Amino acid sequence: MKYAAMSEPILEAHELVKRFDDFEAVKGVSFTVNRGETFGFLGPNGAGKTSTMRMISAVSRPTSGTLTILGLDPGSHGPEIRGRLGVVPQEDTLELELSVRQNLEMFGRYFDISRDILRARATELLDFAQLSDRANDKVDDLSGGMKRRLTIARALINQPELLILDEPTTGLDPQARHLLWERLYRLKRDGVTQIITTHYMDEAEQLCDRLVVMDHGTIVAEGPPRELIALHSTREVVELRFDTDSPEEFNSRLRQFAQRVEVLPDRILLYVDAGDDTLREIHEVGIVPASALVRRSSLEDVFLHLTGRTLVD
């Protein structure tokens, strides 16, 4: 909790539970998000991320637990809270028949923003989203990246203090993702608190000051990306490939060289502190991999370690 002490909390969740008829999507999660930080939710599909997002957007009510957003109780102050939030849903939810500018201005109506302010604000946001030259085009004709940027611009129409983004870059090509990250950085510099869900580890490492990893409806780890790596993984990872269909046979022989060994279908991962030394030791005992790679531990190693390697559909 040392980070929480550093600044003012904008959102506090304690033992949040969300239960649908016979399914418990979120099983008691607690976390605090501070003003100005970018906070991430990582987790495989079905981990309860989206249900958690819907609760902290003051849209769906927790089955139990306490939640304070912007110092208010969403149960009694939902509209007031939502007036100060921006939400970027997983799907774009834009009006396809209308123009880019119309989408922004019409959405502003929901916040009761006057027409003059809306017009000026839309112009600003079109520039922010790099859509000024497409302002009068139908949304249907935009590329996926442009639609995504418009959805983010739309979420900013009310100048929110807290922006909640559910998988903001899923389905985008690398250029579109980088442009979007750059825009999110810019918002962060402007002091907008952001909560982001993603299953891209590089995105989480790039954007998040702090994150939680969710799995099966609970939080399994929490902290800044570098700290999580230090805590849940080793400094380096050695990736070995062998010319064999059954790399398992090397498992027992390699175990003595690493703190942890992970056998994947196509390669073996050795979690170690000094990869080059390990590699040399392996060579010395006569194990010769077809290829070897030494790399730093990443958030992905933490994620896979914590949430398991089984594919979740």
Partner 1 sequence: MTNPIDVSLGWPRWRRSWWYHATYYAQTWRGSVASSVLYPIFFLAALGIGVGKLVTAHTGLVQGQTYIHFIAPSLLATTTMQLGEGESMWPVLAAIKWIRTYHAAVATPLEPEDILYGKLAWVVTRALATGVVYTIVIGSFGALQSWWCLTLPLIGALITLAFSAPLVAFAATAQSDGSFTAIYRFAFVPMFLFSATFFPVSSYPGYLRPIVQFMPLYHGVALARAAAFGDGSFGAIIFHIVFLVVMAVAGIFWGRHTMRRRLVD
Residues that bind partner 1 in the complex, under the rule CB under 8 A: 20, 54, 57, 59-61, 78-80, 82-85, 87, 89, 91, 93-98, 102, 105-107, 109-114, 117, 121, 154, 158-159
Least separation in angstroms between CB 252 and partner 1: 51
How many C-beta atoms lie closer than 10 Å to residue 256's C-beta?
10
| DSSP H or E segment with residue 291 | strand 291-296
Least separation in angstroms between CB 83 and partner 1: 5
Residue matched to tokens 């993984």: 233
Q: Which is nearer to partner 1, 54 or 148 (CB)?
A: 54
How far is Cα of residue 281 from the mean position of the Cα atoms in its chain?
Answer: 38
Q: Which is nearer to partner 1, 57 or 193 (CB)?
A: 57
Here the tokens at position 39 are 């906070």
Helix (H, G, I), strand (E, B) or coil at 190: coil
Q: Which is nearer to partner 1, 143 or 291 (CB)?
A: 143
Phi and psi at residue 199, to the nearest 5°: -115, 20
Q: Which is nearer to partner 1, 31 or 107 (CB)?
A: 107
Phi and psi at residue 249, to the nearest 5°: -60, -25
Q: Which is nearer to partner 1, 26 or 258 (CB)?
A: 26
The CA distance from 299 to 304, in Å, is: 9
Least separation in angstroms between CB 137 and partner 1: 14
Who's near 154: CB < 8 A, 6+ residues apart?
94, 103, 104, 107, 125
The CA distance from 192 to 35, in Å, is: 8
Q: Which is nearer to partner 1, 113 or 287 (CB)?
A: 113
Distances (CA, A) of 19 to 25, 56, 213: 6, 15, 20
Least separation in angstroms between CB 101 and partner 1: 11
Least separation in angstroms between CB 62 and partner 1: 12
How many C-beta atoms lie closer than 10 Å to residue 243's C-beta?
9
Least separation in angstroms between CB 184 and partner 1: 18
Strand partners for 262: 269
Q: Which is nearer to partner 1, 50 or 234 (CB)?
A: 50
Least separation in angstroms between CB 109 and partner 1: 5
